[in-house]
Amino acid sequence: MLIQDVMRFPVVTVEPGVTLEEAYRLLLERGIRHLPVMEEGRLVGIITDRDIRLATSHLNPRGPCPGCTRVAEVMTQEVVTAHPLDPVEEAARVMRERKIGSLPVLEDGALVGIVTGIDLLDALLKLTGVTEPSGRLEVRLPDRVGELARLTGFLAGRGINIHSLLSYPEDKEVVRAVVRVNTLETHLLAEGLRQEGFEVLWPPKKPW
């Protein structure tokens, strides 16, 4: 899944000379939290609702002046951006590491979209397959070649369509695989998997 699959466009932007009051009104009207700042078609900064609230707070020593402070005085410069062909996980990592809530998306210097934490949550929902009617299997696998193939091969043999398959390391030797499958019969699958030697964490085996 790439940034271009989840980004929003067209992007609502402001110019550096706009007052904080005007920028804030724009955020409220559009129901958004991030405004890339554009000057002559070039991205020169970004301002968020939080920047505006901090800048205009009574606690701010410079005092609140939403009508006389300009975006250029408050905006963050040297904006961290993404490219439409970046993978979504790359965007998630950058946002997490830099502790930022959005990435303007640039292509050949032009602003073509924006991706926010919300868009990444949507991407996550889609990646986990929960938007399709499905049941969930959780399996512990040795972290070595061919184990996932063995698992998916088993499901294919039972005619089961996989909506999503996520795996993550539990420790150095073990991987957890979370599979969303198009079936009511996850218990029967779990039984079959156990008989094949898989360690199934969910659904559990009933002791009766």
Task: List residues near another protein by CB under 8 A.
Answer: 130, 132-136, 138, 158-161, 180, 182-188, 202-204, 206-208
Alpha-carbon distance of 105 to 80, in angstroms, equals: 9
Closest CB 28 distance from another protein, rounded Å: 24
Closest CB 116 distance from another protein, rounded Å: 21
Closest CB 185 distance from another protein, rounded Å: 6
Q: What is the DSSP string of 136-177?
A: EEEEEEESSTTHHHHHHHHHHHTTPPEEEEEEEESSSSEEEE
Closest CB 149 distance from another protein, rounded Å: 20
Asked, as a colleague might, if the bond just before 10 is cis with ω within 30 of 0, I would say yes
Q: Which is nearer to another protein, 109 or 157 (CB)?
A: 157
C-alpha angle with apex 1: 78 to 100, nearest 5 degrees?
30
Q: Which is nearer to another protein, 83 or 136 (CB)?
A: 136
Alpha-carbon distance of 106 to 81, in angstroms, equals: 7
Q: Which is nearer to another protein, 48 or 134 (CB)?
A: 134
**Residues 179-202 as b or e (16 or more Cβ within 10 Å = b):** bbbebeebbebbebbeeeebebee
Closest CB 159 distance from another protein, rounded Å: 4
Q: How many CA atoms lie within 13 A of 181 on its CB side?
A: 25
Closest CB 157 distance from another protein, rounded Å: 11
Q: Which is nearer to another protein, 110 or 184 (CB)?
A: 184
Q: Which is nearer to another protein, 54 or 184 (CB)?
A: 184
Q: Which is nearer to another protein, 109 or 159 (CB)?
A: 159
